[in-house]
């Protein structure tokens, strides 16, 4: 879980760097932007899946 949270945070930082480049007029590196978005989406998917599994386990214990 910690790994995926750190991947999400690093992806956000990387995307922030590309936003800064866009605002200053520097050329964007589209390959890295796409890769950072993919990493962010994957991390979010794993985090949501982890939370869903934990809730399901909690609900099964409550029954």
Can you give the pLDDT at residue 51? 92
Q: pLDDT tens for residues 3-26?
A: 777 777 777 777 777 777 777 887
Query: Residue ranges of the domains in the chain?
Result: 2-62
Cα-Cα-Cα-Cα torsion 50, 52, 57, 62, nearest 10 degrees, comes to 140
Q: Please name the residue that has the structure tokens 């992806």.
A: 11
Could you tell me which of 30, 28, 39, 32 has the C-alpha nearest to residue 5?
A: 39
Can you give the pLDDT at residue 53? 93
Neighbours of 30 (CB within 10 A): 9
- Which whole-number Å values give the CA distances from 32 to 5, 36, 37, 48, 52, in the listed order? 19, 6, 9, 24, 30
């Amino acid at each position: 879980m910690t790994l995926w949270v750190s991947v999400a945070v690093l992806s956000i930082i990387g995307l922030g760097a590309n936003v800064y480049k866009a605002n200053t007029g520097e050329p964007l590196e589209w390959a890295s932007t796409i890769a950072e978005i993919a990493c962010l989406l994957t991390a979010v998917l794993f985090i949501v899946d982890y939370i869903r599994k934990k809730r399901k386990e909690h609900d099964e214990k409550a029954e």
